[in-house]
Amino acid sequence: MAERLSRGAFRLTHPVYIQGSASVVGDKEGQGPLGRCFDLIVKDSHFGCETWEQAESRFQREAVIRAVKKCGLDCAEVDVICAGDLINQCTGSAYGLRELEIPFLGLYGACSTMAEGLVTASLLVEGGSAERAAAVTSSHFSTAERQFRAPLSYGGQRTPTSQWTCTAAGAAVLSRDKGEVGICGGCIGVIRDMEINDITNMGAAMAPAAADTISRYLEATGTVPSDYSAIVTGDLGSHGSRLLVGLLQREGIDISAVHSDCGAMIFDAETQDTHCGGSGCGCSASVLCGHFLPRIASGEEGDVLFAATGALMSAMSVQQGETIPAIAHLVHLRRRTAND
């Protein structure tokens, strides 16, 4: 059973394990500081397809196939996959995973999707309805840029707080008993809106949601930041990360010594011209699968909180004068112990 700790926060009495995971990224991500940790770097932004949307689908499918293969399994042995992406109507996932014929739960959590997928998949496995469940998400610089901002050929100048949507996908396969990294708890996010309406400053829009979810999970578990070797956010970027640390400090919670942000880690902002860092669902998913999960498995990290944030606006809602609501979902990861 999962144990309800407070609204949205839960503990898994028996952890659910990440049996295998994989990351597939684009050329720019491969050239970044984490380049060596990814399973596959694809130099062609079209990934051999006719459109960027088809390419994003292929990134996502490739990540799932590799994660399943690492488990020594076939897709037919996965009971359900929790998947989503940023493209309108989540077509990156629908077309990407169509041919795999895995029972499919479509999610929309914007860039929080990997954490939302891990929360959902872990609860399905723990609850008994699935033997194995997968979570996957993707993003693509070129599909996101033209959908949310402007056509690439427009060549708009990017503001100092802007981030660079990663071309990347990450997938993880969860099981009841196999794997070195366990999910032992989590927290479902509440929508937070601090009335930011600048779509080139997503870090500011999302930081309050991250602060809320992290703070609620710490309170529900009676833990403090120093109980974790890392508290990882998805794609707040450097600006949003500073805001997050500040917001939590006001509540008397100091995460500065243990906080990392996948968006701030994936690029070298100075040499790669990415301003505040990477973003997109695939950013946190690929950094989790490529960097953090292996480090937790090896013991280089202890307990880790992975809190991915998502901005829940659309291009149209912003044009209609709406502000940007945001959400953050969280999973608590740790290495398998002798007691498990």
- Give the span between the Cα atoms of 225 and 221, in whole angstroms: 11
User: Would you count residue 219 as binding a copy of itself (CB under 8 A)?
Assistant: no
Cβ proximity to a copy of itself: between 52 and 228 the closer is 52
Q: Are residues 263 and 234 in contact, defined by beta-carbon separation less than 8 angstroms?
A: yes
Cβ proximity to a copy of itself: between 4 and 43 the closer is 4
Q: Are residues 229 and 304 in contact, defined by beta-carbon separation less than 8 angstroms?
A: yes
Strand partners, 332: 185, 305
Stretch binding a copy of itself (CB under 8 A), from 88-96, 219-227, 228-236, 254-262: 88-96
Cβ proximity to a copy of itself: between 157 and 320 the closer is 320
Among 198, 227, 268, 322, binds a copy of itself (CB under 8 A): 322
User: Would you count residue 91 as binding a copy of itself (CB under 8 A)?
Assistant: yes
Among 22, 73, 80, 293, binds a copy of itself (CB under 8 A): 80
- Give the span between the Cα atoms of 282 and 302, in whole angstroms: 24
- For residue 240, the minimal CB distance to a copy of itself (Å) is 19
Among 41, 46, 69, 106, binds a copy of itself (CB under 8 A): 106
Q: Which residue has the tokens 């994936």?
A: 266
- Give the span between the Cα atoms of 216 and 17, in whole angstroms: 23
User: Would you count residue 3 as binding a copy of itself (CB under 8 A)?
Assistant: yes
User: Would you count residue 110 as binding a copy of itself (CB under 8 A)?
Assistant: yes
N- to C-terminal Cα distance for the chain?
A: 15
User: Would you count residue 198 as binding a copy of itself (CB under 8 A)?
Assistant: no
Residues 6+ apart with CB under 8 A from 47: 54, 55, 58, 59, 62
User: Would you count residue 325 as binding a copy of itself (CB under 8 A)?
Assistant: yes
- For residue 183, the minimal CB distance to a copy of itself (Å) is 12
User: Would you count residue 48 as binding a copy of itself (CB under 8 A)?
Assistant: no
Q: How many CB atoms lie within 10 A of CB 101?
A: 10
Among 33, 88, 224, 299, binds a copy of itself (CB under 8 A): 88
**313-332: string of b/e by CB count within 10 Å (b at 16+)?**
bbeeebeeeeebbbbbbbbb
Cα torsion 44, 45, 49, 51 to 10°: value is -150
User: Binding pattern to a copy of itself, positions 278-297, x when CB under 8 A?
Assistant: --------------------
Three-state DSSP at 218 gives: helix
Among 98, 151, 152, 159, binds a copy of itself (CB under 8 A): 98
**Distance from CA of residue 210 to its chain's centroid?**
12
Single-letter code of the amino acid located at 21: S
**Interacting residues toward a copy of itself by CB under 8 A:** 1-4, 7-8, 10, 50-51, 53-54, 76, 79-80, 84, 86-91, 94-95, 97-98, 101-110, 116, 119-120, 123-124, 126-131, 187-191, 193, 312-317, 320, 322, 325, 327
